[in-house]
Structure 1
Amino acid sequence: MKTDKIVMLMREQDGETLAVLYLIKKKYDVVTVTSVHDALAKIEKAEADIIVIDNEIEESALKACRTIRRFSEIPILFISSRETVADKVEALEAGGDDYITKPYDLTEFEARIKVHLRRKSKREVSSEQVLRAGDLEIYPEAYQLFKNGTEISLYAKELQLLLFLLQHKGRVFSAEQIYEQIWGAEKFGDVKTVAVHIRNLRKKIEDDPRNPVYIETVRGFGYKFSQKM
């Protein structure tokens, strides 16, 4: 059986010792690094399945996340003592997939990791599949989106969200339902994550994000991909 590899980018080499020991006991391959350079090296060598970033590292955690996102869609989970909505939104907009505040329960921490690893393993889609809607053309396996022939860069969760809504065109989903489908941990997560990703996605695919024609808001219910497109 494949052992999942977790790279933890920490402020100190012995940071989050209890979490590391817990994950090792649960049969994960855990490596702690203290520099973005070392974390990138692990990703490039395929020695990581998920990255955990401490928001208090010496180097900018947000910068580290953006750097990783330039070439990898590996799941990124932030851990932080910062609890404000602004901090969470900033981390998610930088490309993070999840955010958990300290102190956290170790079973919840592992549950979130499992969710992202499971989603990562299910990403394979037939390379022949091309989805079209309006001016959009999506190649799921290649993680590519084109609008009017011009490629638009999307983060992994943004594309997964777009695909999910498009594949259920016209159907309304609540933020909770979307979170469960894309992040897979309804009782562990923060549904505000959905609104953040919807907003970012609209900025990229809509001509006028304030008057969206692709992803519509159904007040009091949730979101849907327009049946007209």
Structure 2
Amino acid sequence: MKTEDLVIRLSQEDPRPKRWEPAMALAIAALATGVIVVFFSALWLAPRADLMTALAANDHTVLWKFVFAFGVVVTALPLVRDLTTPGRAAGIASLIALLPFAIVVVLGMRELVVLSETELRQLLSHASWLACLWQVPLLSIPAFAILVVIARRLAPTNLQRTGANIGVMASGFGAVGYALHCGDDSMLFVATAYTLAIGEMAFLGALLGPRLLRWT
């Protein structure tokens, strides 16, 4: 093959991964991760005995916990995809990823308005706060490890931001696993303790991203 022909052929080939490839890889990883985290949670933290009854309750508070946790995963996935695909800008995906947090904060504020001082004091003194802040990140570790391996095989450039959002996505899975066990159904609790736990993983991801996602 002549040099000119080789140059023309290489110029016609797109070296960047197809748009669907990162999304497909991350989606498959997410499905596998979800199964692993739920299994890990069931082994380590016994699911609450009244889970099915609570899910069917008229106030839907338990259901909202799972909607929030899954929402964090689903909205973080497009953002992680954009951050691991060359040529894609994380624009509207960044705003969409904030949606689950905005919704749960609104629900938490609405609950705060109607809580009595005694109820609020009981809520703030509940031991679930401390448990949530370390159990959600611990449940997130398998998800974080899997997603880092997948992201590293793609092409992230902003390693710190990618790591932070992988941490958010992983902690969404951790929140799902923790919600199976968590007996505190307050939206105020979810809006604060769950969000803080997710923030811990985002910080950890931002800290480790430049080291773990670096191309070798």
Q: Decide which structure has greater helix share.
A: 2
Q: Decide which structure has greater strand share.
A: 1
User: TM (normalized to structure 2)?
Assistant: 0.26
- Greater relative contact order: 1 or 2 (C-alpha under 8 angstroms, separation 6 or more)? 2
